[in-house]
Amino acid sequence: MSVVLITGSSTGIGRLTAETLAAAGHTVYATMRDPEGRDATAVAELTKRARDRGHDLRVVALDVTSQTSADAAVRTVLDEAGELDVVVHNAGHLFIGYAEAFTDDDVAHLFDVNTIGAQRVNRAALPHLRERRSGTLVYVSSTSLVTTPPFLGPYVASKAAFDALAVVTSYEVSQFGIETSIVMPGAITRGTGHFANASKASDRQVTAQYAELDPLVERTHEAHELLFEAGTTADPQDVADEIRRILALPAGRRPFRSVVDAARAGVDHVMALSDLTREAFVRRLGFAETLELKR
C-alpha cells in the first residue's frame, strides 16, 4: 500500500478519492485549503468516517496557490509517514461566463489554482520522489480540453494547460522512475461543487453587453445534464474508483491516460490518436527514452 497526498479533498472527486483509497488500505493525506475554517465540517465528516471504519486517513492544510503551503504539507507527510508514494492533483475551480468579460486577474487566478497549483505541489513532492526513484503522479484533467463547451473559456484553457504540463513533466520524471497517469473525467453535474460554486466574470459591464446570450449561459448546467442517456448520470465515484484501479496496478503498468466519461463524447478515441501522434513525434526528436519508465 502507498502513502498518498490528494489536493482539493473537501468535496467531490477529491473527497471520494480520499475515502476510496483509504478504504483500499492506502495511507491517505486528504488536503484542503482551510481545515480549521471553511473546510472544518468536511474535516469532521472525513475523519469520523475514517475512524469508524478503521481507515488511515489524515487531513492536512494545503493551499495550492502558495508554494509555502505546498512545501509544508509535503513536509508534514514525510515527517509523519516517512515517505510519499503518490500525488493526486485534483484541486480545481470552475468559471462560467463570457470569455471577454473575464479580466486578466480573473483568468490569472483560475490558472493559479487549476494549473500553477499542480506545479507548486510537484515542486514540493518531486525532490523526495526523485531521490527514491519511484512514485506516481495522478492528474485529474478534463474532457473539456477536447470538447471545449461554450461559456467555460478560462476553465477549458486552464485544464488544457494543466494537461499539457502533466505531459511534458512526465518525460522528465519518467527517467527517475516516476510514473504519470492522467485521468480525464467527462462532464459531472452532480456530486461535486463545480457548477454550484462556479465563479462569474468580474467585468459586469462587458457581461451586460452579452445579455442576449444570457438564456444560453443560464442553462449551462441543464445542457450538460442532457448529455446523459435517460436514467443515467455521471458519478464522481467512478473517477475515484478509476484512480483506485490505476494505483492497484503494478508499477510500470499504469495507463498514461484514462477517460471516465458517462457522456460518451468520444474523447477516449481523440486522445488515443493524440497520444500516438505525440509519442511518434517525441521518437522522431530522438527522445524515445523519455516515453519509458526508467527503473
Query: What pTM was estimated for this model as a whole?
Result: 0.96
pLDDT of residue 195: 72
The pLDDT tens digits of the residues spanning 104-140 come to 999 999 999 999 999 999 999 999 999 999 999 999 9
Q: Which CATH superfamily, name and number, covers 3-291?
A: NAD(P)-binding Rossmann-like Domain (3.40.50.720)
pLDDT of residue 219: 93
Cα(173)–Cα(155) distance, rounded to whole angstroms?
26
Domain-by-domain residue ranges, the chain?
Answer: 3-291
pLDDT of residue 193: 65
The pLDDT tens digits of the residues spanning 80-102 come to 999 999 999 999 999 999 999 99
What residues pair up with 260 in beta bridges, in sequence order?
185
Cα 153 to Cα 102, 200, 213, 259: the distances in Å are 9, 11, 15, 21
Cα 71 to Cα 62, 63, 66, 75: the distances in Å are 9, 10, 9, 6
Please calculate the CA angle 14-16-74 and round it to the nearest 5 degrees. 40
What does the pLDDT profile of the chain (295 residues) look like in tens digits?
A: 999 999 999 999 999 999 999 999 999 999 999 999 998 999 999 999 999 999 999 999 999 999 999 999 999 999 999 999 999 999 999 999 999 999 999 999 999 999 999 999 999 999 999 999 999 999 999 999 999 999 999 999 999 999 999 999 999 999 999 999 999 999 887 767 667 778 899 999 999 999 999 999 999 988 888 888 877 778 999 999 999 999 999 999 999 999 999 999 999 999 999 999 999 999 999 999 999 999 8
Cα(136)–Cα(88) distance, rounded to whole angstroms?
8
pLDDT of residue 295: 85
Helices 117-132, 67-81: crossing angle, 10 deg rounding: 30
For residue 30, give the C-alpha cell. 486528504
